[in-house]
Amino acid sequence: MQENSSGNSTRRDVLKHLGAVGVAGLGGAAAMSGTAAAKPSVDWEPADSSNFSGANRGAGYIDWVIIHTVQGSASSAVNWFQNPDANVSAHYTVSESGYEYQSVSDQNIAWHAGGSNYNTYSVGIEHGGYVSGTYEDAQYRASAKLASWLCDQYGVPKQHPSNVPYDAANPANGGIIAHSQVPESTHTDPGSNWDWGYYIDLVNSY
Does residue 18 surpass a pLDDT of 60? Answer: no
The stretch 80-98 carries a mean pLDDT of 98
Does residue 62 surpass a pLDDT of 60? Answer: yes
**pLDDT, tens digit, for every residue of 141-164?**
999 999 999 999 999 999 999 999
pLDDT of residue 12: 40
Question: Domains in the chain and their CATH numbers?
Answer: 11-205 (3.40.80.10)
pLDDT of residue 145: 98
pLDDT of residue 35: 57
The CA dihedral of 76, 78, 79, 82, to the nearest 10 degrees, is 150
User: Picking from 21-35, 44-58, 180-194, which range would have the lowest pLDDT averaged per residue?
Assistant: 21-35
Is the preceding omega at residue 46 within 30 degrees of 0, hence cis?
A: no
DSSP per-residue codes, 63-111: -EEEE---SB-HHHHHHHHTSTT-----SEEE-TTS-EEE-S-TTSEES
